Structure 1
Amino acid sequence: HSDIHLFKGDFGPVREGFIPGHEISGWVEDFGPDVKNPWGLRKGDPVVVSWIVPDGICKYCASGKENYCPAAAGRMPGLVGINGGHAEYITIPEIAVIPLGKGVDIYYAAPIACAYGTAYHALREAGVGPGTGLVVIGAGGVGLSAIQLASAMGAYPIIAVDIRDFALEKAKELGATHVINSTKEDPISRIRDILPDGADVVHEARPEPDLKLSMEVVARAGTIVVTGLGGPKSTFTVNVLPFVINGVRIMGSLGYRPRLDLPEIIKLVASGKVDVRKLVSHTYVPEQINEAYENLERGLHARAIVKWG
């Protein structure tokens, strides 16, 4: 959904000729003269490309928080500053190139570079593990990835909330133990039936989070983690009393740490614990790119990929 924010100008003016596409997988074609190649990559090796390009030297990078590197704000392949993946060839700083290795289908690996990475980092930061009661609000690409990853992490129960039946069906396929269409039943009472004490973690994965439902269903001393970016003027309000007396933690989570989180996700995929092919609902060729983005804006995808070559 970040591409929609891009097209609407939420990230600022888009220069003419800019190439979008921020979830990228492909093969190494060549190396620049100053590349140090810490991964030992060779021509033809499969890789994913991070949309976060840290500088590797600031205090955030040094402390394992490279997703908050100030330099990365101005260079995000397919979003800001660096051309993206809707092309046959692209040039990318080496710090953003992560090897896929064996056991990962290159054509279905692209969502690792955003949807899975964003979900994984959010779940880790929120402390999701075996037995965590989890509610995921918004079963789009990131929300569905969170459900699949949380299932692999041992979370239980995993409750998905959305307004689209097809998205909830996909959520069940990916590991949700319960699904709720909030237009057809009261999500608060249903979640409280399943988790009387509330959810240990609530993941707000909607593009426009408002925290109203989250605050109603989070447990005492629970965590609400927000990955939906909203628009430039998006806000939310919280009732202070329950927030304080229940010790609720509300945290934003931006993307992931390219050199730390992406290799861990790739290991999960290579081991068979996470099947990235299950997330993809639509496949397009380059000639269908406009149709792909129209369907994206209409909310018709779980995740879609465009195959080049």
Structure 2
Amino acid sequence: MESTAAVLESPTDGNNLSKATPAAFKTIEIADPTGEEVLVEITAASLCHTDVGITRGQLEELFPLVMGHEGAGRVAAVGEDVESVDPGDQVVLGRITCGRCEFCREGNGQLCSKRTEARRSGTLRTGNIRFSRNGDPVHHCHGVSSFSEYTLVTEEVAIEVDDNLPAEQATLLGCGVFTGAGAVMNTADIEAGSSVVVFGAGGVGLSAVQGARLRSAREVIAVDIVQEKLKIASEVGATHTINSSEEDVVDRVREFTDGGVDYAFEVVGNPHVTEQAIECLTPTGQAVLVGVPPLGKRDISLDLYDMVVSEKGVVGSFNGSYSLPLAIPKLADLAVKEDLQLEPLITDRKPLTQLNEAMHKLETGAGVRQIIEP
């Protein structure tokens, strides 16, 4: 079948997308689903900083590719071996997990070896490329490719969720929400009464703020340079906010918490911000690194003496350390009950053909999550 899709032919030159129009809107051919494959009609997708990183060539990808890795939709058709979803089901597009490798068997599907292999080769988990244009292959983006009218994924990527959850909220569960909330509730597994600071109040950071609220943290401090985002952070659970362009973050965090926080979450992917997060910790505190820096970023300065004598810890968190087939339905249930607030995270809506404009806006730091409508 044919589908209109946002195709990235190659990464843009330089770092400034405001002078580029990286996405081209092309008609692609999608093969009929077979075996473990699921054809999904996209009802809503959403834009993430990872999409911008891909356009800049900051991740290992093969081109051309159909863009997008956050999406929700309806199952249109399934292959003969599919058992978990049926045509008509509402699904969130999660991530590739093979269910067989050492990491998957241990409940760490976010580290699935097949997932990394497929992402770097631009294929589905099976190694197949099911998109084409004029007979030539067009690669898959992280096994998802949600910036399209239709997409084809392997069965584990299409995760059924409650029909009562609006599609434009459901799509947020496809990356940012489970990454942020999971870092707090799963990776760190914070205790009630903990003190928390979250650096970055975008979609991931605001989800981390909500995770801390759901875990009954005592202080939840949100840090950003955009006042609009800090306002939203207060609405969804932050007890304090800090505009880091106007105040000394470390001093203010210590003031709010009488010495430092138990947990600091860095969701920006910036070495300097990572250093600040660690400085904010109280003895025995833990810094959780969530934001993914560009490949090759290694420059960070640590006070190793303080790390040792204060017994501070640093840990990475990828995709909230979650097994997504279990986590996404649970998060969807929280959203239906409005314990997890997704609507405040939606700050704009644009048709697929305005994806480039949406990426330009994201680069300026404005807004939180933009819904991309096919």
| TM-score, structure 2 as length reference | 0.77
**Residue 44 of structure 1: CA displacement?**
1.4
Cα RMSD (Å): 1.7
1:53 maps to: 96
1:229 aligns with 2:292: yes
1:126 aligns with 2:174: no
Per-residue Cα deviation, 1:250-278 (whole angstroms, up to 9, x for no partner): 00111132123222211211222012111
SS for the counterpart of 2:77 is coil
1:178 aligns with 2:240: yes
Give the aligned residue type for 1:169. K
1:168 maps to: 230
Give the aligned residue type for 1:4. V
Paired residue total: 303
1:99 aligns with 2:160: yes
1:4 maps to: 52
Q: Is contact 2:228-2:367 (8 Å) kept?
A: no
Q: Which has the larger radius of gyration?
A: 2
**Residue 42 of structure 1: CA displacement?**
2.6
User: Within 5 Å, which residues of 2 pair with 1:1-309?
Assistant: 1-16=49-64, 18-37=65-84, 41-50=85-94, 52-76=95-119, 80=141, 82=143, 84-123=145-184, 124-210=186-272, 211-235=274-298, 236-255=300-319, 256-308=322-374
Identity across the alignment (%): 29
Q: Is contact 1:168-1:179 (8 Å) kept?
A: yes
Structure 1 unaligned segments of length 5 or more: list them: none
Equivalents in 1 of 2:243, 2:217: separation in Å?
21
Give the aligned residue type for 1:186. D
Equivalents in 1 of 2:62, 2:233: separation in Å?
34
**Residue 298 of structure 1: CA displacement?**
1.7
**Residue 232 of structure 1: CA displacement?**
0.8
**Residue 92 of structure 1: CA displacement?**
0.7
Q: 1:53 to 1:189 in 2, by over 3 A?
A: same
Q: 1:81 to 1:100 in 2, by over 3 A?
A: closer
Per-residue Cα deviation, 1:216-264 (whole angstroms, up to 9, x for no partner): 2111111110111101121223111111111111001111321232222
Equivalents in 2 of 1:127, 1:30: separation in Å?
38
Structure 2 unaligned segments of length 5 or more: list them: 1-48, 125-138
Equivalents in 2 of 1:136, 1:81: separation in Å?
27
Q: 1:303 to 1:257 in 2, by over 3 A?
A: same
Per-residue Cα deviation, 1:187-225 (whole angstroms, up to 9, x for no partner): 122111111131111000113243221122111111110
Give the aligned residue type for 1:45. D
Give the aligned residue type for 1:48. V
Q: Is contact 1:220-1:247 (8 Å) kept?
A: yes
Larger deviation, residues 88-97 vs 188-197: 188-197
Equivalents in 2 of 1:3, 1:79: separation in Å?
13
| TM-score, structure 1 as length reference | 0.93
Q: 1:116 to 1:83 in 2, by over 3 A?
A: closer
Per-residue Cα deviation, 1:12-61 (whole angstroms, up to 9, x for no partner): 24412x11111111111111122132xxx3321111011x2011101111
Q: 1:79 to 1:191 in 2, by over 3 A?
A: farther
Q: Is contact 1:121-1:257 (8 Å) kept?
A: no
Equivalents in 1 of 2:205, 2:59: separation in Å?
22
Give the aligned residue type for 2:303. N
Higher-strand-fraction structure: 2
**Residue 81 of structure 1: CA displacement?**
5.4
Q: Is contact 2:196-2:262 (8 Å) kept?
A: yes
Equivalents in 1 of 2:360, 2:264: separation in Å?
30
**Residue 79 of structure 1: CA displacement?**
7.1
